[in-house]
């Protein structure tokens, strides 16, 4: 027979004598003396139909681990998926810091008892600014798509213009998020890409740029896996009509790719996930926005902004909220868009990662990824029927064209599972590329991993 | 009641920690990425060198250069200079529901069976995590009484924004998008109930409370019209008063064709006690990181569970996790969906932890959370109202408060010019984390909003009240001393705070600080 417990380890005052003592102090019989404020018709008088509790921590762990065992993970299988969440090495120090109860369980305290939180996020902003070529940076947004969408609205407000041009070779989720965010008052027009190179179609861009263009958004590297070598030209064209430029960037690529701010862009946005965060089934995201440091740009951020200041003790740093009046916390519907709980912890970890890597680490990481991808492309292109979609240099992600194999991507990916391989993402529904898949290779892919993929695909496509 | 013990000799960790750039030594390394196999290098050569000019980075990014030990040390110091709720008496952060965040759930979130999953894996390879999503969805539906839910929003405000997007889609589908351009909210509802519908394009009408602190029902009746798209309201509101007119309000709004959204950020008060369904709402949301015991992470990652009635399910963002009881899959085939709100399925780690938390609670202990929370809060109120200089919003209106209360130091401010922020800084010296004052506008003057949820013991509550009493006494005895606090926190009192609003002085990055403050 199972024991009946009348106290829960997470609820100290569930201990019946303590609870009785508190009710006696209040002159109350039970919590019903408080719930009397809720009209009877609104009361729920049943019992919640959810599973009975698993009170033992041991059994809870067994229960959840049994569910997780139903998953096939990327440690036991070889994963070539990227496109917004990437498998990079997560340094042990990052795991240590993310697990610290101090950071893990803090929330909205000011920069006295939570001084460390402010300093950590200020430092992340400082490093990210150096990486992207800007001097202002927000606290984390929900994710990259959210950052891109916010930047579009910021640009629209800064210029008082109502149209955004969105590169069609960008991520489909981000595209959807931007459309949703701009719906009330900003038109989103999509700019074609060149089907031969995968790069932005500059002629189409020129056709679409006009006096109401607030911003041009493009990604570098593009979602379809090419490096956008026309970045400076895109910025120049945008400037010719007075429009601003937003670049979506994979931050790990910025050891080898030029900083968007130095190419003429006005905003850089992207995701923290590749900077020391586990993929966690898409839970590792957190967006960033960097801009120029002037009131015209900073004044339009909806996010909290953490700045540095002095204290009454000489030489001591303090931190606080910059231009708080902007936010919806301060000004409700008159604030800039809205702000809420986003992904601060991931922003903190990204700072740890960047400090671990340092300038040289990031350069070596980037150079190594470029080489591994080039090697994989060469080998894959030798498989009969398989082509590499675009003739360009790729950073991490690249598009593989399976149209010549007579097989669908779904079919090929299904067959790869039997080899313990998670193949590329099927993009056939999102882009007019037929049966093509987006593969991703990072520093975690060794030569033998790439060769294992090639051998499996050779066998499957035979 | 024995005299509660307070931490008279407390001092928070104060490392006088430099900015990471000040710790940098050129050439020092923190971690080395894996080398590329020589055979690969031989075959492909220097790929970076083939990048065109202007595309390849001209000079390496200016990042700090530290050994691994010093990186670890620096961020451990910064963590110690942060007061997480797992290590403090954090009933301070009212409206935030600072529950204990169980360690076992962190262990589970590190399991490679979760942490090493890519979100684009074939659904057949992620049946376990999809099952967890589906089961947690059922918990949300049972607690709300609603029919469908999405866990995609990355926080509470994001869920409320999603609701505003659904309101827009619903009226557009009925051809009334242009006609219905107003959203009603109440001033003690969270600011997001005004800000997110505004972001979605709506004009906002704000209802103020009557003399008892309840949103003015007649004002709502007068505001509702054919122009109304929806009402967005919190209940209980941030001052802890349950709005007894909730059902009447939904009837008024429905009678003019508007939708009703129930902000349930404060759901801890009524788990298993009252539901959105019975009050007639069409949508509601939970802050999963608050009500379901997952960590707040210095402000995220988080999850907002947006629940709705069946007739609105068609608008939910894609994909939706579906199941036939054996198998789980992702449904993208929903042509009227509002688009994506966040990438993938949302913050899966929050969902996993919340699932584990509810699995350990079950129906009985979820209800116990609510019971103990409201008892704790009333117990605390009775002590707090005996402290000189302290009152509570709408004190003496005869309404029992639910899970939280907004207190006021108005009298203290009038008497000795010590207000909410001064109290906050001095209370830090006794190991109490920074308390939540209030969102703006400060309708309740010199506010302090406290929420002694079920994780806090009777001793915690008594200690907290004793610290408030002690500092209030200090304020009456020596106001200047309190106003110049803190003395035992991480840092001392900030000066020149006006620079945070000055574009020529504010500095969001180290580089900007060096430039603007003459360091280089």
Q: Map out the domains of chain B as residue ranges.
A: 109-358
Q: Determine contact: A75 vs chain B, CB below 8 A.
A: yes
pLDDT, tens digit (0-9, with 9 covering 90-100), for B181-205: 999 999 999 999 999 999 999 999 9
Q: Domain spanning B109-358: which CATH class is it, in words?
A: alpha beta
Q: What mean pLDDT do residues A344-351 have?
A: 98
Q: What is the structure's pLDDT at A232? A: 97
Distance from CA of A202 to the nearest CA of B (A): 17
Of A25, A39, A176, the CB nearest to B379: A25
Q: How far apart are the first and last CA of chain B?
A: 60
**Which residues on neighbouring strands pair with residue A289, listed in sequence order?**
A269
Would you say the ipTM is above 0.95?
yes
Let me know: does B258 contact B180? Beta carbons within 8 Å: yes
Averaged pLDDT score across all residues of chain B: 96
Element (H, E) at B206: strand B203-207
pLDDT, tens digit (0-9, with 9 covering 90-100), for A116-127: 999 999 999 999
Give the confidence band of B518 by pLDDT, cuts at 50, 70, 90: confident
CB count within 10 Å of CB B92 equals: 28
Q: Is B19 helix (H, G, I), strand (E, B) or coil?
A: coil
Q: Determine contact: A355 vs chain B, CB below 8 A.
A: yes
The tokens for B116 are 């090493």
Task: Answer whether residue B364 shows pLDDT above 70.
Answer: yes
> Which chain A positions have a beta carbon within 8 Å of B92's beta carbon?
109
Give me the total of CB pairs closer than 8 Å, taking one residue from chain A and one from chain B.
731
Q: Domain spanning A92-353: which CATH class is it, in words?
A: alpha beta
Task: Answer whether residue A94 shows pLDDT above 80.
Answer: yes
CATH number listed for the domain at residues A78-88+360-461 = 3.90.1150.10
pLDDT, tens digit (0-9, with 9 covering 90-100), for B299-330: 999 999 999 999 999 999 999 999 999 999 99
Q: What is the structure's pLDDT at A270? A: 98
Whether residues A367 and B439 touch (CB distance < 8 A) is answered with: no
Within 83-122 of A, beta carbons closer than 8 Å to B belong to 83-85, 87, 89, 91, 93, 95-97, 99-117, 119-122
> Which chain B positions have a beta carbon within 8 Å of A362's beta carbon?
60-61, 63
The tokens for A300 are 């339009």
Let me know: does B85 contact B93? Beta carbons within 8 Å: yes
> Which chain A positions have a beta carbon within 8 Å of B430's beta carbon?
none
Of B340, B351, B489, the CB nearest to A176: B340
Of A31, A373, A446, the CB nearest to B371: A31
Task: Answer whether residue B499 shows pLDDT above 90.
Answer: yes
Report in angstroms the alpha-carbon separations of A104 from A9, A25, B98. Answer: 20, 35, 12
Give the confidence band of A1 by pLDDT, cuts at 50, 70, 90: very low
The tokens for B403 are 């899970």
Give the confidence band of B2 by pLDDT, cuts at 50, 70, 90: confident
The tokens for A406 are 């007579």
Positive/negative CA dihedral, A167, A168, A174, A177 = positive
pLDDT, tens digit (0-9, with 9 covering 90-100), for B31-60: 999 999 999 999 999 999 999 999 999 999
Smallest CA–CA distance from B16 into chain A, residue: A316
Residue A46 DSSP code: S
Q: What is the structure's pLDDT at A462? A: 84
Q: Determine contact: A59 vs chain B, CB below 8 A.
A: no
Dump strand ranges (E) for A228-381: 244-249, 267-271, 287-291, 306-311, 317-321
For testing contact with chain B, the best of A262, A264, A271, A332 (most B CBs within 10 A):
A332
């Amino acid at each position: 027979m199972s024991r009946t417990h009348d106290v829960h380890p997470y609820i100290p005052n569930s201990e019946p004598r303590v609870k009785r003592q508190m009710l006696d102090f209040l002159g109350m019989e039970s919590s019903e003396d408080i719930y009397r404020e809720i009209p009877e018709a609104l009361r729920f008088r049943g019992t919640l139909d959810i599973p009975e509790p698993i009170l033992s921590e041991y059994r809870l762990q067994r229960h959840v681990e049994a569910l997780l065992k139903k998953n096939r993970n990327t440690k036991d299988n070889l994963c070539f998926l990227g496109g917004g969440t990437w498998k990079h090495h997560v340094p042990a120090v990052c795991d240590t810091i993310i697990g610290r109860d101090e950071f893990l369980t803090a929330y909205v305290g000011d920069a006295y008892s939570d001084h460390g939180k402010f300093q950590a996020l200020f430092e992340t902003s400082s490093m990210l600014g150096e990486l992207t070529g800007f001097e202002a940076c927000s606290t984390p947004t929900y994710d990259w798509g959210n950052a891109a969408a916010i930047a579009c609205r910021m640009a629209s407000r800064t210029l008082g213009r109502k149209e955004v041009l969105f590169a069609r070779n960008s991520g489909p989720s981000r595209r959807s998020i931007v459309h949703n965010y701009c719906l009330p008052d900003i038109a989103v027009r999509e700019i074609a890409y060149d089907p031969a190179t995968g790069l932005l179609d500059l002629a189409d861009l020129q056709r679409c740029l006009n006096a109401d263009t607030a911003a041009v958004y493009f990604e570098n590297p593009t979602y379809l896996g090419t490096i956008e070598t026309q970045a400076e030209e895109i910025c120049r064209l945008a400037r010719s009509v007075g429009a601003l430029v937003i670049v979506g960037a994979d931050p790990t690529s910025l050891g080898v790719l030029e900083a968007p701010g130095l190419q003429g862009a006005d905003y850089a946005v992207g995701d923290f996930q590749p900077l020391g965060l586990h993929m966690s089934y898409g839970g590792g995201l957190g967006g960033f926005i960097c801009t120029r440091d002037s009131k015209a740009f900073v004044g339009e951020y909806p996010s909290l902004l953490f700045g540095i200041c002095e204290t009454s003790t000489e030489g001591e740093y303090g931190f606080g909220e910059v231009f708080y009046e902007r936010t919806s916390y301060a000004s409700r519907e008159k604030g800039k868009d809205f702000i809420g709980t986003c992904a601060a912890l991931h922003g903190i970890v990204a700072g740890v990662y960047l400090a671990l890597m340092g300038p040289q680490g990031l350069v070596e990481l980037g150079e190594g990824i470029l080489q591994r991808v080039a090697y994989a492309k060469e080998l894959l292109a030798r498989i009969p029927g398989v082509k590499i979609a675009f003739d360009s240099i790729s950073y991490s992600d690249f598009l593989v064209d399976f149209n010549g194999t007579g097989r669908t991507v779904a079919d090929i990916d299904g067959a790869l599972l039997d080899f313990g391989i998670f193949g590329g993402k099927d993009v056939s529904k999102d882009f007019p590329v037929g049966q093509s898949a987006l593969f991703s290779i990072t520093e975690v892919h060794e030569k033998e991993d790439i060769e294992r993929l090639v051998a499996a695909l050779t066998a499957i496509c035979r | 009641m024995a005299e509660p013990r307070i931490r008279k000799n407390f001092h928070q960790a104060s490392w006088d920690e430099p900015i990471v750039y000040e710790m940098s030594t050129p050439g020092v390394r923190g971690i080395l990425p894996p080398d590329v196999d020589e055979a690969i290098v031989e075959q492909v050569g220097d790929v970076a060198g083939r990048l065109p000019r202007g595309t390849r980075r001209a000079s390496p990014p200016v990042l700090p250069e530290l050994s691994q030990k010093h990186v670890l040390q620096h961020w451990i110091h910064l963590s110690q200079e942060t007061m997480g709720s797992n290590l403090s008496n954090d009933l301070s952060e009212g409206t935030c529901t600072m529950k204990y965040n169980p360690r076992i759930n962190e262990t589970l979130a590190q399991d490679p069976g979760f942490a090493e999953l890519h979100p684009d894996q074939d659904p057949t390879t992620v049946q376990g995590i999809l099952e967890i999503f589906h089961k947690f969805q059922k918990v949300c539906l049972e607690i709300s009484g609603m029919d469908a839910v999405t866990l995609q929003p990355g926080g509470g405000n994001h869920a409320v924004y999603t609701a505003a997007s659904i309101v827009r889609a619903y009226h557009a589908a009925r051809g009334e998008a242009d006609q219905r351009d107003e959203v009603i909210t109440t001033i003690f509802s969270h600011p997001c109930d005004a800000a997110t519908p505004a972001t979605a394009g709506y004009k906002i009408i704000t209802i103020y409370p009557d003399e008892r602190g309840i949103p003015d029902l007649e004002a709502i009746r007068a505001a509702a019209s054919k122009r109304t798209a929806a009402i967005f309201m919190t209940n209980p509101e941030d001052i802890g008063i349950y709005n007894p007119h909730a059902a009447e309000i939904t009837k008024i709004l429905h009678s003019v064709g508007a939708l009703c959204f129930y902000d349930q950020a404060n759901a801890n008060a009524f788990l298993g006690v009252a539901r959105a369904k019975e009050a007639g709402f069409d949508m509601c949301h939970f802050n999963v990181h608050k009500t379901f015991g997952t960590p707040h992470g210095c402000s995220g990652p988080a999850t907002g569970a947006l629940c709705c009635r069946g007739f609105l399910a068609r608008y939910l963002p894609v994909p939706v996790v579906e199941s036939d009881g054996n198998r789980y899959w992702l449904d993208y085939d929903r042509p009227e969906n509002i688009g994506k709100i966040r990438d993938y399925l949302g913050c899966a780690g929050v969902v996993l932890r919340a699932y584990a938390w509810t699995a350990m609670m079950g129906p009985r202990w979820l209800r116990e959370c609510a019971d103990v929370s409201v008892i704790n809060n009333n117990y605390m109120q009775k002590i707090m109202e005996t402290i000189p200089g302290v009152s509570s919003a709408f004190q003496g209106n005869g309404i029992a408060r639910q899970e939280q209360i907004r207190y006021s130091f108005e009298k203290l401010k009038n008497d000795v010019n010590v207000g909410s922020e001064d109290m906050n800084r001095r209370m830090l010296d006794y190991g109490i984390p920074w308390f939540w004052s209030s969102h703006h506008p400060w309708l309740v003057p010199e506010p302090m909003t406290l929420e002694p949820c079920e994780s806090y013991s009777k001793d915690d509550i008594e200690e907290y009240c004793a610290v408030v009493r002690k500092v209030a006494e200090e304020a009456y005895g020596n106001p200047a001393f309190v106003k110049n606090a803190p003395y035992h926190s991480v840092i001392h009192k900030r000066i020149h705070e006006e620079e945070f609003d000055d574009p020529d002085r504010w500095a969001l990055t180290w580089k900007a600080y060096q430039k603007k403050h003459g360091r280089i």
